[in-house]
């Protein structure tokens, strides 16, 4: 039976003359796009005009193109669907470059649409002309410069298919103004032209049986799981495989939530600031099964010292990741969800016997109990304590976004994540200013969930203008702002590596550093800034205020910034210095 909605859509898709900009909007609707984060300009005005006409798409106006791009990130990371951002040519497009690079590093599905000058001006240094196609080539999954308006339906279909399938990533569509203005009869159901693109490789049974044989013969195995588990929607399959084998699981930061952190086999996350248990277990393993990971330097430290005695299996959807950072004897090119499903099935069919890991488990879980994430009690509120209170008051059910810095690591340490797409952070590129716009995008994606930006004062100031977007669009995000008036992570490195010499890392007057003991020196005045934006805010200094203040923030019906004054002397621990091994980890 044909529904009225389907009939109406069919009528709407009949080829009638349309402007290119309207064709673009129609194609976005056909891809299921419900929100576009877009900042207008001369070269993209036609598209914005098209978005004002009847459409199922909500358009969010940010206050800066980088905010626009990171809102799309928050939406994409919270849903798994491509986030869509749009900017004009020239500086509008170049302001999206960081967002595109960030999506490329973290394998985030993003479609970035940019306006471009008229085709006859391309290459002539016209006003606001920039070769965004060329600029972004190293940091995209694919790029399009649309030279024929008639190609728009095919290009949009391909762009979304590329962004969301295989290893997800960013795709750029650069559209000259004359293409947007051209009136033509679109053929909306064009076929894609992607020769050689194979987004879903599958491991052979022989490869997977070999993995099962390795597991049966090992004594010190670890599952090393990353962002591929989250982007591949393979968290259930991972849990089934972990239950089947009994192997301890250590995740990366990108993989947070892909395996429940309250599961008895969880070693939580490892790497530069990760758990002692996770780092030591990987270092001493005799079999390391790497699932959807890229052997990033923040995980491995000195690559020659990483899991030196382990036989390594690397299952990944992207063949280019095999042997890129770590040469392994067992590379398996496969979609991770399929590989885990098939491993469990083959284990059942071939009489898999779980190895006896009792001795190994006593050792690694003993480390977990002996060296949990911890912090020393202080007369002041510490960042760790504030995040711990936030976790308790939300019962671990919130979506947490972060900026970049110490607060980012503490959020991962003291807020436990039990489901995927709940920890949203810029991890590969490490972009400050990410937290607030990402929180806005995540909240739009999940209006019924609590979304909190855990941020630092240095990082937050980089995109503070998006407070205006939160108010104007009525997006009730919460901000837990941990304020130490310093660039905390760089200060930590200065303390450890440069004898505490401060090289442009103090954000306030060095002679009058604000602190819990010197409120007069606090800078900037976040309460006054929030008042100017129309955002509810509160500053807390005393320990006995923090829990009640967090509750007030969570219960407030609207955007809310809680400014928590914390000491700048705290360091994120544990810490593995660059070039060191897991065995050289600094615990305190």
Please state, in angstroms and rounded to a whole number, the distance separating the CA atoms of residues 302 and 281.
Answer: 16
pLDDT tens track, the chain, 588 positions: 344 544 454 445 556 999 999 999 999 999 999 999 999 999 999 999 999 998 899 999 999 999 999 999 999 999 999 999 999 999 999 999 999 999 999 999 999 999 999 999 999 999 999 999 999 999 999 999 999 999 999 999 999 999 999 999 999 999 999 999 999 999 999 999 999 999 999 999 999 999 999 999 999 999 999 999 999 999 999 999 999 999 999 999 999 999 999 999 999 999 999 999 999 999 999 999 999 999 999 999 999 999 999 999 999 999 999 999 999 999 999 999 999 999 999 999 999 999 999 999 999 999 999 999 999 999 999 999 999 999 999 999 999 999 999 999 999 999 999 999 999 999 999 999 999 999 999 999 999 999 999 999 999 999 999 999 999 999 999 999 999 999 999 999 999 999 999 999 999 877 767 666 666 678 899 999 999 999 999 999 999 999 999 999 999 999 999 999 999 999 999 999 988 999 999 998
CATH code of 13-184, in short, is 3.40.50.970
Q: Shortest CA distance to 575 belongs to which of 585, 583, 561?
A: 585
Please state, in angstroms and rounded to a whole number, the distance separating the CA atoms of residues 228 and 272.
Answer: 20
Active site residue 127: yes
Residue limits of CATH 3.40.50.970 in the chain: 13-184, 383-565
Active site residue 37: no
- What topology is assigned to 383-565 in CATH? Rossmann fold (3.40.50)
Q: Please answer whether residues 574 and 279 qualify as being in contact, where contact means their C-beta atoms are separated by less than 8 angstroms.
A: yes
- Among residues 65, 129, 284, 385, the one annotated as catalytic is 65
DSSP H helices, 421-561, are: 435-445, 457-460, 466-472, 488-497, 526-533, 546-555
Active site residue 216: no
Q: Give the sheet arrangement for strand 560-565, strand by strand.
A: 423-424, 399-402, 451-456, 478-483, 560-565, 536-540
* pTM of structure: 0.95
- Among residues 128, 190, 216, 341, the one annotated as catalytic is 128
Active site residue 128: yes
- Among residues 127, 187, 193, 324, the one annotated as catalytic is 127
- Among residues 18, 489, 553, 573, the one annotated as catalytic is 489
- Among residues 81, 177, 478, 536, the one annotated as catalytic is 177
- The CATH homologous superfamily for domain 205-370 is TPP-binding domain (3.40.50.1220)
Find all residues with CB under 8 Å of 225, minimum gap 6, and list them: 238, 249, 250, 251, 252, 255, 258, 259, 290, 291, 292, 293
Q: Encoding tokens for residue 170?
A: 């960013």
CA distances from 550 to 64, 232, 517, 563 (A): 29, 34, 21, 10
CA-angle at 210, arms to 269 and 243, nearest 5°: 45
Residue limits of CATH 3.40.50.1220 in the chain: 205-370
Q: What are phi and psi of 218, to 5 degrees?
A: -95, 170
Given the DSSP bridges, would you call strands 221-225 and 58-60 parallel, antiparallel or unpaired?
unpaired
Active site residue 237: no
């Amino acid at each position: 039976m044909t529904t009225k909605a389907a009939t109406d859509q069919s009528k709407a898709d009949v080829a009638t003359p349309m402007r290119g900009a309207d064709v673009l909007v129609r194609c976005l609707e056909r891809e299921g796009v419900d929100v576009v984060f877009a900042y207008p300009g001369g070269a993209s005005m036609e598209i914005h005009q098209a978005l004002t006409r009847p459409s199922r798409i909500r358009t969010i106006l940010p206050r800066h193109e980088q905010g626009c791009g990171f809102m799309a990130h928050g939406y994409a990371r919270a849903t798994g669907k491509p986030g869509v951002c749009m900017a004009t040519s020239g500086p509008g497009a170049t302001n999206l470059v960081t967002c595109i690079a960030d999506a490329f590093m973290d394998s985030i599905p993003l479609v970035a649409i940019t306006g471009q000058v008229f085709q006859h001006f391309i290459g002539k240094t016209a006003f606001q002309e920039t070769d965004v196609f060329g600029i972004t080539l190293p940091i995209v999954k694919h790029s399009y410069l649309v030279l024929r308006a008639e190609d728009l339906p095919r290009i949009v279909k391909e762009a979304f298919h590329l962004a969301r399938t295989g290893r997800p990533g960013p795709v750029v569509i650069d559209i000259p103004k004359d293409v947007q203005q051209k009136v033509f009869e679109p053929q909306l159901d064009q076929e894609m032209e992607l020769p050689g693109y194979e987004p879903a490789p599958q491991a052979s049974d022989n490869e997977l049986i070999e993995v099962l044989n390795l597991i049966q013969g090992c004594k010190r195995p670890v599952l090393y799981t990353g962002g591929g588990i989250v982007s591949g929607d393979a968290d259930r399959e991972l849990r089934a495989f972990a239950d089947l084998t009994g192997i301890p699981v250590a995740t990366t930061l990108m993989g947070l939530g892909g395996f429940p952190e309250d599961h008895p086999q969880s070693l939580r996350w490892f790497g530069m600031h990760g758990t002692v248990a996770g780092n030591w277990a990987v270092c001493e393993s005799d079999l390391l099964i790497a699932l959807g990971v890229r052997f990033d330097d923040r995980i491995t430290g000195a690559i020659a010292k990483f899991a030196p005695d382990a036989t390594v299996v690397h299952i990944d959807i992207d063949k280019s990741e095999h042997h890129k950072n770590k040469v392994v004897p067992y590379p398996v090119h496969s979609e991770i969800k399929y590989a885990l499903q098939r491993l469990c099935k083959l284990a059942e069919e071939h009489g898999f016997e779980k190895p006896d890991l009792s001795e190994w488990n006593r050792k690694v879980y003993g480390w977990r109990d002996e060296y949990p994430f911890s912090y020393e009690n202080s007369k002041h509120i510490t960042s760790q304590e504030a995040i711990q209170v936030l976790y308790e008051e939300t019962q671990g059910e919130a979506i947490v976004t972060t900026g970049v810095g110490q607060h980012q690591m503490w959020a991962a340490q003291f807020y436990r994540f039990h489901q995927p797409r709940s920890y949203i952070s810029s991890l590969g590129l490490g972009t400050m200013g990410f937290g607030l716009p990402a929180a806005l995008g995540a909240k739009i994606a999940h209006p019924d969930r609590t979304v909190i930006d855990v941020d630092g004062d240095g990082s937050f100031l980089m995109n503070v203008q998006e407070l205006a977007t939160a108010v104007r669009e009525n997006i009730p995000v919460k901000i837990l702002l941990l304020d130490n008036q310093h660039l905390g992570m760089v200060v930590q490195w200065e303390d450890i590596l440069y004898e505490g010499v401060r090289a442009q890392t103090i954000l306030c007057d060095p002679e009058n550093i604000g602190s819990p003991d010197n409120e007069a020196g606090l800078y900037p005045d976040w309460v006054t800034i929030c008042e100017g934006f129309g955002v509810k805010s509160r500053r807390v200094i005393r320990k006995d205020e923090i829990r009640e203040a967090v509750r007030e923030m969570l219960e407030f019906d609207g955007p809310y910034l809680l400014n928590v004054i914390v000491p700048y002397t705290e360091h994120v621990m544990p810490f593995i210095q660059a070039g060191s091994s897991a065995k050289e980890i600094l615990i305190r």
